[in-house]
Amino acid sequence: MIIPKEIKQKPLEYLLLALVFLVGLVIYFFIPISSHGQRLVVYFMAASYFLWSIIHHYRRGDLNLSIVVEYLVMALVGIILLSVSLF
């Protein structure tokens, strides 16, 4: 299996992100929660993903405004596409 170079360089950071996603998935699909609770899970995941990106790029030494905006927009894409239509 080919593991991308960026994962090889910071395996723990990617593991942490995968763990956050896994927790979100388990809560969303396997724990009986209301649609309000599901919305909170999505917000939590988007916020964690954004926070992770800041820490990840800061530690890599390439944190700048364009990268922050990129993650912010990706989080926005996810939240809007899901929440506007479904909640």
Partner 1 sequence: MKSKLSYYFIPQEKNNYRAQILKTGFLLFLVGFYLINQEIIKFVGVVKPGVLGYSSEITAQKVLTQTNLQRQNNGLPALKYSSVLSKSATDKANDMFAHNYWAHTSPTGTTPWDFFKEAGYQYTVAGENLARDFYDTESLMEGWMNSPTHKANIVNSKYQEIGIGVVNGTLGGIKTTLVVQHFGLPVTSIASQQETPKQLQPETVSLQNSRILSEEKSNYINPLTINKTVGAIIFVLVIGVLFIDGYFTLKGGINRLTGSNISHIGFLLIIFLFMLYQRQGAIF
Applying CB under 8 A, the residues found at the interface with partner 1 are 4-7, 14, 17-18, 21, 24-25, 28-29, 32-38, 42, 45-46, 49, 52-53, 56-57, 62, 64, 66-67, 69-71, 73-82, 84-86
Please identify, using beta-carbon distances, which residue of 4 and 12 lies nearer to partner 1.
Answer: 4
Three-state secondary structure along 32-63?
Answer: CCCHHHHHHHHHHHHHHHHHHHHHHHHHHCCC
- CA nearest 46: which of 65, 28, 73? 73
- Rounded to the nearest whole angstrom, what is the least distance from the CB of residue 38 to partner 1 in the complex? 8
